[in-house]
Amino acid sequence: MLNKNAAKKIISAFLSLMTIAVMTAGCQKSNEEQNNEELLIGFSQIGSESAWRIGNTKDIEEQAQNYGVDLMLENANQKQENQIAAIRRFIAYKVDVIAFSPIVEDGWDNVLTEAKDAGIPVILVDRDISTDKEDLTTCLIGADFYKEGVMAGEYLIRKADALGLDHVNIVEITGTENSTPMRQRQAGFADAIANDDRMTILESIDGDFLTSRGAECMRYLLETYGDDIDVVYSHNDEMTLGALPEIEKAGFAPGKDIIIISIDGGQEAIDVLKEGKINCVVECTPKLGKELMETAIKLKAGEQVDPLIHPIEQVFSDEMNPEDIAPRGY
Ligand code: AHR
């Protein structure tokens, strides 16, 4: 039998051990958080041209918080020179990782060479660059835009079959000239319809991913081609949403008289798809923040990263029950 004092000592020793264990666990957790907090990412966003872009910025901010990563975020207001200046500030600030969504593909060699010379790894988010130089960037986290164009073209072939069309006149409203989504969505779509003799692209016109430009382009296309237009293929939801009222003003019913194909899948476009005024929306997800944080953490730890990370994307269309589409969250 233990006397009262011995029992007290044992209980007190046990409690002390428990306290130490709990404190150690606490320290380990805060060390992990601290590790990520010590990671500083400088991120240059293109601008706020679309619901997609605003959703992308929000997702990156939220995921930085989730992962305990410090984020210096700069909005370039659609100007490449602002992005270049932001990257130079990130270099001067000695951030751990630079990430950016290049508005266009060309013109990055000098500033990225400066980042490389400073030993700061660079992650491309959403869009790619075009360069002859090696090792300016570590990886690209973004959609497979070529596949999106292919999925849009394949939908159109199925739709033309279903309607029994023997000729299909298409107008294309493209995204920002010389940007990756513009180039690849155009190429993927063109390749997908290339062997179908029914398809003719009447004109491709630059809508710069903007609602106002989508409306302007559509007015011009309606004035030029009138009721010859069977299909509008638009490279993003904003331009599509700008084009639709113009089609209605000209006396046509979008989704019925003219087949409407869009890309992105923001909630507003999905709601219009449910109304029957858009026939197909190819998804492009803005949710790239998680992959960005995980990749930056690996780079800081000196680990290898995948050179190319594409999210999985789908097609929303009048071939499915649109009520089955879950809320998009942006
Ligand atoms: O780079 C992705 C594209 O940019 C989205 O499709 C568009 O909406 C955005 O502005």
Residues of the chain with pLDDT > 70, as a percent, come to 89
Q: Are strands 315-317 and 280-283 parallel, antiparallel or unpaired?
A: antiparallel
Residue 81 forms part of a structural domain: yes
Cα separation of the two ends of the chain? 68
Residues 56, 100, single domain; the answer is yes
Indicate whether 22 pLDDT > 90: no
Residues 181, 222, single domain; the answer is yes
Residues 268, 175, single domain; the answer is yes
Residue 250 forms part of a structural domain: yes
Indicate whether 26 pLDDT > 90: no
Of the candidate ranges 31-45, 203-217, 265-279, 297-311, the one whose mean pLDDT is the lowest = 31-45
Mean pLDDT of 70-91: 98
Is 273 within 8 Å of 281 (Cβ atoms)?
yes
Indicate whether 27 pLDDT > 50: no
Note the pLDDT of residue 25. 39
Q: Is 263 in the pocket of ligand 1 (CB under 6 A)?
A: yes
Of the two residues 322 and 221, the one the predictor is more confident about is: 221
Note the pLDDT of residue 37. 59
Indicate whether 7 pLDDT > 50: no
Residues 179, 123, single domain; the answer is no
Mean pLDDT of 79-95: 98
Mean pLDDT of 28-41: 62
Mean pLDDT of 273-281: 98
Q: Which atom of ligand 1 is nearest to the CA of 266?
A: 8
Q: Is 283 in the pocket of ligand 1 (CB under 6 A)?
A: no
d(CA 180, CA 151): 17
Note the pLDDT of residue 36. 65
Q: How far, in Å, is the centroid of ligand 1 from the Cα of 166?
A: 32
Q: Which atom of ligand 1 is nearest to the CA of 237?
A: 8
Indicate whether 313 pLDDT > 70: yes
| Domain limits for position 92 | 40-143+287-312
Q: Is 236 in the pocket of ligand 1 (CB under 6 A)?
A: yes
Q: How far, in Å, is the centroid of ligand 1 from the Cα of 149?
A: 13
Indicate whether 326 pLDDT > 70: yes
Q: How far, in Å, is the centroid of ligand 1 from the Cα of 52?
A: 6
Residue 237: pLDDT band (50, 70, 90) is very high
Residue 28 forms part of a structural domain: no
Residue where a domain terminates, one of 267, 284, 301: 284
Residues 62, 165, single domain; the answer is no
The string of pLDDT tens digits covering residues 119-155 is 999 999 999 999 999 999 999 999 999 999 999 999 9
Neighbours of 160 (CB within 10 A): 20
Q: Is 209 in the pocket of ligand 1 (CB under 6 A)?
A: yes
Residues 251, 218, single domain; the answer is yes
Residue 7 forms part of a structural domain: no
Note the pLDDT of residue 235. 98
Of the candidate ranges 25-39, 76-90, 103-117, the one whose mean pLDDT is the lowest = 25-39
Q: How far, in Å, is the centroid of ligand 1 from the Cα of 79?
A: 15
Note the pLDDT of residue 255. 98
Mean pLDDT of 47-73: 98
The string of pLDDT tens digits covering residues 238-263 is 999 999 999 999 999 999 999 999 99
Please, what's the b/e burial string for 72-100 (b: 16 or more CB within 10 A of its CB; e: otherwise)? eebbbebeeebbbebbeebbeeebbbbbb
Mean pLDDT of the chain, nearest integer: 92
Report the CATH number at residue 124.
Answer: 3.40.50.2300
